[in-house]
Chains A and B, each alone.
Chain A
Amino acid sequence: MSLQAKYQQIIEEASAAGATNMGVNEENGVLFISAAVPNAAVHDKLFEIYNEIDPNMATGDLVLNLEIANEVAGATCIVTTEETALNVRSGPSTNDAVIGYAEKDLQVTLLEKTNEQWWKIRTATGIEGYSYSQYLTAQ
């Protein structure tokens, strides 16, 4: 089975869900799928499918690079930490000091996607700083 056939369901689901700019390339035994998807829900769904096809994604033969289209400067994001509040730091790394917190389930404003891992945000109380993007979901 070719890699594209193995992961065909992801490609089809992405299309159906409104993915744009889709690229599918195979190189040296690894499939690369890149696309822009409308929101985090579609993003999560596609990774669920990936996990079903390849349990725990253990084979490592797919790089599913999805950009979430509604994650743009100005967007409202919800803090989606497990339990605790999200640290807001003075700079985009864990070496930078914590200057405040963004409470779980509350809203913040996305100011800038500084890089993949770190976004600059403004909390409801006006604190501006950097938080780990994994715990922010654009609405």
Chain B
Amino acid sequence: MRPRFRLALVVMILSFATLGTGCKNKDAKLKAAIEEKLKANPDMANCTVEVKDGVATISGECKDEMCKTKCCEEAKAAGAKDCVNNCTVKEAPKQVEIADNSALEKALADALKSYPTVKGSVSPEGKIILTGTISAKDNMQLVQALSKIGGKGFERKGLTVK
């Protein structure tokens, strides 16, 4: 092989080698930089990143949609050319709404003590449900008493007024 050609070849090989290593080094550095940013945010701390050729791929569990969007923003801010977001969003625990109708139930039970032919209960929405039978006169008294105890209205289709 002619010496100049050999030299050129060696230089080329070395350059590629360097370039290759440089690429790998750059990726490793970028990965480290992105990881640092992710760890700094507790919402993203469970996310992991892989970097290939300057493109970051983020996986793992993110707290919510906003966090998921931010992950890639951070990656790009750290220098990633592009970002593939494979993060999953944790489903928020469902808030269980427990309506406290116990005070209403107690007041209802107290009011109904005088009307043994009437049965009452409280619906989950807080409506007073009445069933049974009652005289017109007692019905007036009962409605007056029950209108003071709270409640979101009455379900009285099952109550017959004589």
Contacts and interface: CB of A to CB of B under 8 A. Distances in A.
8 contacts: A28-B125, A43-B144, A50-B143, A57-B139, A58-B159, A61-B153, A65-B148, A134-B145
A23 B116 CA distance: 33
A62 B149 CA distance: 13
Contacts of A15: none
A50 to B, nearest CB: 8
Nearest to A92: B110
Given A93-B110, A116-B107, A134-B114, A28 B145 contact: no
A116 B147 CA distance: 10
B36 to A, nearest CB: 53
A125 interface: no
A3 B114 CA distance: 31
Chain B's interface: helix, strand, loop or mixed, by majority?
mixed
B151 interface: yes
B84 to A, nearest CB: 48
Contacts of B155: 60
B145 A117 contact: yes
A132 B148 CA distance: 14
A28 B148 contact: no
Given A63-B147, A64-B147, A65-B147, 16 more contacts: A27-B152, A28-B125, A29-B153, A43-B144, A47-B143, A50-B143, A56-B139, A57-B143, A58-B159, A60-B156, A63-B151, A63-B152, A66-B148, A94-B113, A116-B145, A134-B141
Contacts of A94: 113
B111 interface: yes
A79 B149 CA distance: 22
Interface of B: 107, 110-111, 113-114, 125, 127, 136, 139-141, 143-145, 147-149, 151-156, 159, 161
Given A58-B161, A60-B156, A116 B149 contact: yes
B147 A117 contact: no
Interface of A: 27-30, 43, 47, 50-51, 56-66, 93-94, 115-117, 132, 134
B147 A30 contact: no
Contacts of A63: 147, 151-154
B107 A117 contact: yes
A64 B144 CA distance: 8
Contacts of A47: 140, 143-144
Q: Which 7 A-B pairs have the closest CB atoms?
A: A60-B154, A30-B153, A56-B161, A60-B156, A116-B148, A57-B143, A64-B147
A93 B147 CA distance: 19
Contacts of B114: 132, 134
Nearest to B129: A60
A44 B113 CA distance: 22
